[in-house]
Amino acid sequence: MDDAQRIVMTGIGLTAPNGNNLSEFRDALLNCRSGVVHTEIRYMGKQVAGLCDFDEFKYQSKKLRRRGTRAGSISIYCANEAVADAELDWAAIDKSMVGVYLGITEHGNVETENEIYEMHQNNLDWKLWSPHHNPRTVANSPAGEVTLNLNITGPHYTLGSACAGGNVGIIQGVQQLLLGEVDVALAGGVSESPQTFGIFAAFAAQGALAHHEDPTKASRPLDKNRNGIAISEGGCIYVLERLSDAKKRGAHIYAEIVGYAINSDATDFVNPNGERQVECMHKAIKKAGITVSDIDIVNMHATGTGTGDVNESKAVRDAFKDSDKTFVNFSKGHIGHAMGAAGALELAGNIPSFEDGVVHPGMNVTELDPECEIKNLVFNEPKLVGNINYILNNSFGMLGINSALIVKKYKS
Amino acid sequence: MADVRQIVIDIISDIAPDEDVTNLDDKVSLREQLDLDSMDFLDIVMELRKRHKVEVPQEDYPKLATLESCVSYLSPKFA
């Protein structure tokens, strides 16, 4: 295939609850270090959540941090880290040919809740409603903050795609590069969800909010005693380029994106549909021009809910029944559910496998749920498997959106 | 009597925490001395209302141009 039609990852910037760059994050994944803690949530009191501790002012002034949002702050950090990691000559680059594409689960809840709370605390004085409310809550806000910060004049927008957001942001970047709309895509996903009370309360109302006296054990996908989702923040942004451009400037290439798929269940607002998930994975594999047995690692979406994990486990068993060499892991035991960032972050956590040949484990499985048994499931201990060529990353969301993304080890 | 000058400086410090507000000239426009834009002035108005119940109608915004004019305009409202 023509190098101009091949899309590669040349930079990664991330913040996760357990690491502020890829090497810290990978180390935490391999050594089962959780980033989930107890935090105070308005009205609800103590809850578990995955919170990031990156330096908010590394790339942003205090004033603009105050003016923007937590999602914007996370995005700015990740974008700058990605650009630096890619060693792009930022001063020389044509900023009108850079696009920013960020997947989000939701945006605006945090600011809306805060404004209503403030108004309520002040005798419903509506004139205290902030003039910043609209720019903070428009749906393109986190991506727009990145363009303001990095002086990018190409396109920017977010991809509202529930918890499939991370994968969807990357897929959008790939597509825009293939269309020739941009030369560099800053693509990934972001989450500020632990800043909002409503998401916690709604998961609690669904009986799907994780809890445990030890917060590091609260998020336990596939465990028999799992009790729901640990809500997390985070972000992961990739520098994507056409292979021809990356080669020209001698860039380090983390991986090539070779397959992807997005489909819809069309069955339920919240309950997933395993058949559609299988179709999604198979569609991505077909697009990559490979077979199921070529996939070395499947990173499950696995959020820690009762039905979600059972459905996906069956879907993965069905999708990979013809492969003996596909290993399966998951990442939310370590970091909780980073919502719109989850897909992009979890993929990043697996990419070093191309170099070290190790599959990082899922963590917090004390007793594996028999309904979640999967051939070659890697949990609690990392698994050295040697040569790894293909990783498939699942990311699913409410309203029945499914996504699967396949990356391949790059060989020059 | 409220120290209106200090009240305004405290609000500016919160809105623009990167700025040095220690040696401001009371007679020179705040925007000439500090990196403030129109949204910052809306924030100043908002904080005056939130913290001190002082209302500044839109037509009076120009009276917040300098520290001296702020004190002159706002002092009666704090009386």
**How many Å apart are CA A203 and CA B31, to the nearest integer?**
47
Residue A210: per-residue pLDDT: 98
| pLDDT, average across residues A9-23 | 98
List CB contacts (< 8 A) between B16 and chain A. 63
Three-state DSSP at A281 gives helix
For an interface test with A, give the residue of B20, B21, B35, B39 to mutate (most A CBs within 10 A).
B39
The CA R_g of chain B, rounded to the nearest whole Å, is 11
Listed in order, strand segments (DSSP E) in A126-243 are 156-160, 184-191, 231-232, 234-242
Domains, in order of start, for chain B: 4-18+27-78 (1.10.1200.10)
Q: What's the pLDDT band for A412 if we cut at 50, 70, 90? A: confident
pTM over 0.95: yes
Chain A / chain B CB contacts < 8 angstroms: 27
| pLDDT, average across residues B13-42 | 96
Q: Domain-by-domain residue ranges, chain A?
A: 9-248, 259-408
- A9-248 has CATH 3.40.47.10 classification: yes
Mean of per-residue pLDDT scores for chain A:
97
Residue A260's alpha-carbon distances to A6, A125, A159, in angstroms, are 13, 49, 16
Contact status, residue A101 vs residue A157, Cβ threshold 8 Å? yes
**How many Å apart are CA A311 and CA A371, to the nearest integer?**
9
Give how far A57 is from chain B: nearest CA, Å: 11
pLDDT in tens, A205-258: 999 999 999 999 999 999 999 999 999 999 999 999 999 999 999 999 999 999
CATH among 3.40.47.10, 3.30.565.10, 3.40.50.300, 3.30.70.2740 for A259-408: 3.40.47.10
Active site (annotated) includes residue A337:
yes
Residue B2: per-residue pLDDT: 76
Residue B1: per-residue pLDDT: 62
ipTM of the predicted structure? 0.92
Please answer yes or no on whether B17 and A127 come within 8 Å at the CB atom: no
Query: Would an 8 Å CB–CB cutoff place B51 in contact with chain A?
Result: no
**How many Å apart are CA A79 and CA A99, to the nearest integer?**
11
List CB contacts (< 8 A) between A67 and chain B. 39
| pLDDT, average across residues A119-145 | 96
Q: Which two tokens stand for residue A367?
A: 């007793």
Residue A162: per-residue pLDDT: 97
| pLDDT, average across residues A183-201 | 98
DSSP A270: S
pLDDT in tens, A73-101: 999 999 999 999 999 999 999 999 999 99
List CB contacts (< 8 A) between B35 and chain A. 63
- Asked if the domains at A9-248 and A259-408 fall in one CATH topology, the answer is yes
Q: Which two tokens stand for residue A319?
A: 């999708």
**How many Å apart are CA A368 and CA A370, to the nearest integer?**
6
Active site (annotated) includes residue A78:
no
pLDDT in tens, A316-342: 999 999 999 999 999 999 999 999 999
pLDDT in tens, A368-380: 999 999 999 999 9
Contact status, residue A168 vs residue A403, Cβ threshold 8 Å? yes
Of B18, B39, B50, the CB nearest to A61: B18
| pLDDT, average across residues A300-308 | 97
Of A66, A122, A131, the CB nearest to B42: A131
Please answer yes or no on whether B18 and A67 come within 8 Å at the CB atom: no
| pLDDT, average across residues B28-56 | 95
Query: Would an 8 Å CB–CB cutoff place B59 in contact with chain A?
Result: no
Residue A301: per-residue pLDDT: 98
Q: What's the pLDDT band for B46 if we cut at 50, 70, 90? A: very high
pLDDT in tens, A33-75: 999 999 999 999 999 999 999 999 999 999 999 999 999 999 9
B10 contact partners, CB below 8 Å, separation of at least 6: none
pLDDT in tens, A97-127: 999 999 999 999 999 999 999 999 999 999 9
